[in-house]
Amino acid sequence: MATEAGDAAATPAGDSAVGGGEPSEVRRFQVKRLTFCGDFDGANIALARASIDADGITEVYEVHVAPDCSGTKHEAEYKMWYHFSVEGGRPGQRARIAVANLNPMAKVYAQDLRPLVRVPSLSPSWERLAEPSSFEISGPRLRLTFAYTFGSAQPVHFALYFPFAYSDCQRLLRNIDFALGSEPSTAAAASRIRSGAAPPGRGPSGRSRLRARLRNTGDPSADIYYHRELLALSPEGRRVELLTVSSCLGRLAERLPHIDGLFPERGPRPHRFKAKPVVYIGARVHPGETAASYMLHGMLAFLLQPGTPTPARCETASCSRWCPW
């Protein structure tokens, strides 16, 4: 195997305040005794207030979500996803929450798509609400209403779908770097790549560099070629990564050239390959499409498993470039 990252392996911590997992806006809304929060990576809430339900009697906590590209010249009308937390609940307290300004995806909610709920301090996993939710459509907007009974005083998170934040992406890429850079041919490395579990006893080194220190089998078709580089920075300083994955078969000494306006770290580009088609794999065009991120990282983990026949055939036949998010 051969792994490279050049200067691009100087990977910042994914949770850093600049270019990391911090939200672009801090949003906290005090509604009676509850605080609705969007001050974490991957949140989407624009407003929370007390309101009255459609029956004209029942009190409800009304949440509004931000549109796509909120606050920019590219702001759109799409309001399809939500992710927020609620603090200040008392054990046994029951709250009715309405997400009031969603796009009318009636077919989805008609199939009983319930909000996901998680108490991070008590559970590592998300679960669907036990009780069914309800929805109504008024003009161009859908109002989703659900009830939740607090089991503790700990903050509770609610989301449309299983979240996948920027910091999650950076953590998984660091784990791949560690696994391929130290133990590429072991079962432990493959397990780390699949699960995203951090290597025990090791933390991310902000200025470390991966070098070509992987086991070389002597068979270029069996050795994985992996290169990670910084394609660009987002307007808020977050990393947009480009990965190159192939086998070492057909690798040339010549490298790809730099392109004006891209690859700001100016590290070595990946090697060229002889007579290999290039396959581009991307996902997550929309911030709410978190399922696409899980799919992309699952495909990447599958291809990077050392010593596995099917991924090896894919890598021998092509050179794939990935833009993970």
Residue 304 lies in a domain: yes
Residue 34 lies in a domain: yes
In this structure, are 317 and 180 located in the same domain? Answer: yes
Residue 203 lies in a domain: yes
8 A C-beta contact, residue 218 and residue 185? no
Average pLDDT estimate for 283-303: 89
Complete edge-to-edge strand list for the sheet that includes strand 141-149: 47-52, 59-64, 94-102, 141-149, 134-138
Q: Note the pLDDT tens digit of each residue in 35-71.
A: 999 998 889 999 999 997 767 767 899 999 998 888 8
In this structure, are 206 and 84 located in the same domain? Answer: no
Cβ neighbors of 266 (< 8 A, separation 6 or more) are: 7, 258
Residue 108 lies in a domain: yes
In this structure, are 153 and 300 located in the same domain? Answer: no
- What confidence tier does 12 reach under pLDDT thresholds 50, 70, 90? very low
CATH code of the domain covering residue 85: 2.60.40.3120
pLDDT at 262 over 70: yes
Q: What is the pLDDT of residue 73?
A: 86
Residue 23 lies in a domain: no
Looking at the chain, the whole-number percentage of residues with pLDDT higher than 90 is: 55
User: Which of 159, 188, 218 delimits the end of a domain?
Assistant: 159
Count of structural domains within the chain: 2
In this structure, are 171 and 283 located in the same domain? Answer: yes
Residue 122 lies in a domain: yes
In this structure, are 170 and 302 located in the same domain? Answer: yes
Q: Note the pLDDT tens digit of each residue in 220-230.
A: 666 889 999 99
Q: What is the pLDDT of residue 214?
A: 36
In this structure, are 131 and 194 located in the same domain? Answer: no
Average pLDDT estimate for 266-270: 92
Residue 262 lies in a domain: yes
Helices (H), 18-145: 106-109
290 vs 209: CA distance, rounded Å: 29
User: Which of 107, 129, 159 delimits the end of a domain?
Assistant: 159
> pTM for the complete prediction?
0.78
- Domain encompassing residue 225: 2-18+165-323
User: Which of 159, 175, 195 delimits the end of a domain?
Assistant: 159
In this structure, are 99 and 219 located in the same domain? Answer: no
In this structure, are 214 and 117 located in the same domain? Answer: no
In this structure, are 317 and 175 located in the same domain? Answer: yes
In this structure, are 170 and 142 located in the same domain? Answer: no
Residue 81 lies in a domain: yes
In this structure, are 243 and 278 located in the same domain? Answer: yes
Cβ neighbors of 65 (< 8 A, separation 6 or more) are: 44, 45, 46, 79, 81, 82, 99, 101, 102
In this structure, are 273 and 309 located in the same domain? Answer: yes
